[in-house]
Amino acid sequence: MAVITKFFVVRDGVELDKVFTVKKDAETYDKMLDAAEQLAEFIKKGELECKLDDESINAISVFLAKNGPEVTKILRTVRPLSKTPANEEITKSKETPKEIGSKKEIPKQRGKKDK
């Protein structure tokens, strides 16, 4: 007689269809689902200019979570925009950056005082 250990991932009291024979694989899958859940909330709270239904958001979130290492590699060099009034004006305005740049005042740089 053989004894086989099987691992299931349970989410919100519901046992998922996936069955694992290695505990580490089940834990990795569970963490991926946690990441997908967080991504879905992030997308829903985001200020997207298009409407997405919950099914699409969940599919995108799971896809991004499953491909986390590749997504991280792609986003590694991205730096967040600073929340300066000039950047907000650029993103909210329909004017071209050249037009906005001409309205922006550049503060004078202060140098060291000569003694």
pLDDT in tens, 38-81: 999 999 988 888 888 999 999 999 999 999 999 999 999 988 88
Work out how many domains the chain is built from and give that number. Answer: 1
Domain contains 111:
no
Instruction: Give CA–CA dist 57/44, Å, rounded.
Output: 8
- List the domain range (segments joined by +) for residue 63: 7-102
Domain contains 115:
no
Domain contains 113:
no
Domain contains 107:
no
pLDDT in tens, 3-40: 889 998 888 888 888 899 999 999 999 999 999 999 99
Domain contains 27:
yes
